[in-house]
Amino acid sequence: MILEKVGLSIGRRLSVAVVVTMLAGPTGPFDIPLFATPSVPAARGVARLVYASSPFGVAVTADGRARYDVQVTASGLPAPEKLGAFNSYVAWEVTPDLDKWVRLGTVMNGKSTVGQAELNKFLFVVTAEADSTASKHAGPTVLHGTSPSGWLQSFLTHPLFRGVY
C-alpha cells in the first residue's frame, strides 16, 4: 500500500518486495540473481545460499562439497496455469552441462525454502510443471541463475601466466 502511494510501478514494487523479503531472512554468503525468461517478463527472484546446519563449523558432504540451504524469494510469477497445463513452479539444481537435474522443491511468489544444494558448480533453474512432486523436469524454464562458484574462470592464458607482470 505504501509503495502504491509513493507511485512506484508494479514492477518496481515487486522488486522492492524481493529486496525487503531478502533482508528479513538470515544472512547468507551468496545470493544468486535469477533471470526471467520471456514467458514471465515481470518475474524477479533471488536464490540465497545459506550454509546448511551441521554439528561442525561448516556443512559438507563426505567428499567435501559445501551444502547450502536454498531460500528463494520471487515476485511477478503468474499463476502457472497461465503458461499452459501446469500447476506449480519447481526449483532444480542442475549441473553446468545440463546433464543432471536435482529437484529442490516448489517455489511461489514470496519466500520459499527449498532443498539443499550441494554441487560444486550449478545452475539454479525454476520451471513450470504439471506435477509439483515431479522428479524430472518437463515444463518451461521461468527463472534461472548461476551459482557463484560458476563464475570461477581459468587464468592460465592471462598475461600473468605469460610473464607480463
Partner 1 sequence: MRIPIALAALLCAALTAAGAQKPVAPVPKPVPPSGITGMKGMPGMQADTGKPAPVAKVPADTNPMDGMQMSGMGHGGMSMPIPMPPGMPMMPGLVGLVPSVSSFLPGAGVDPMSLPAVKASSVARLKDGDTLDLTAMLVRRTVRGHAFVMYGFNGEVPGPLIRVPQNATITVRFHNRIDLPSTVHWHGLRLDNKYDGVPDITQAEVAPGGSFVYKVHFPDAGVYWYHPHVREDIEQPMGLFGNMLVDSPDRNYYSPVNQEQALMFDDLLVHADSLIPFGRESPDFALMGRVGNVLLVNGETHYALNAHAGDVVRFYLTNVANSRTYNISFGGAQMKVVASDQSRFEHEAWVPSVVLAPAERYVVEVRFDHPGSYALVNAVQAINHYKGEFEPEVDTLGTVTVSGSAAAPDFSRQFATLRSNAAVSRDIAPYRKYFNKPPDKKLTLTMQSTALPLATVQFMSIDTAYFAPVEWVDGMPDMNWLSTAKEVRWILRDDATGKENMDIDWHVRQGSVVKLRIFNDPKSFHPMQHPIHLHGQRMLVVSRDGVPNTNLVWKDTALIPVGSTVDLLIDASNPGAWLLHCHIAEHMGAGMMAVMHVDPR
List residues binding partner 1 (CB under 8 A). 25-30, 50-51, 53-58, 60-66, 120-121, 148-156, 158, 160-165
Toward partner 1, which CB reaches closer, 96 or 105?
96
We find the least distance from the C-beta atom of residue 148 to partner 1, in angstroms, to be 5
Give 106: exposed, middle or buried? Use CB within 10 Å, 0-12, 13-18, 19+: middle
> d(Cα 141, Cα 108) in Å, to the nearest integer?
14
With respect to partner 1, which residue has the nearer C-beta, 3 or 52? 52
> What are 159's three cell numbers?
598475461
Radius of gyration of the chain (CA): 18
- Least CB distance to partner 1 at residue 20 (A): 16
CB 142 within 8 A of CB 77: yes
| In the complex, least distance from residue 17 CB atom to partner 1, rounded to whole angstroms | 20
Residue linked to cell 558448480 = 121
Q: How far is the CB of 103 from partner 1 (least distance, A)?
A: 21
Q: Which CB atom, from 136 or from 165, has the smaller least distance to partner 1?
A: 165
Q: Which residues contact 44 (CB under 8 A, 6 or more apart)?
A: 11, 14, 15, 18, 34, 36, 74, 75, 76
**Closer Cβ to partner 1, 39 or 146, answer by number:** 146
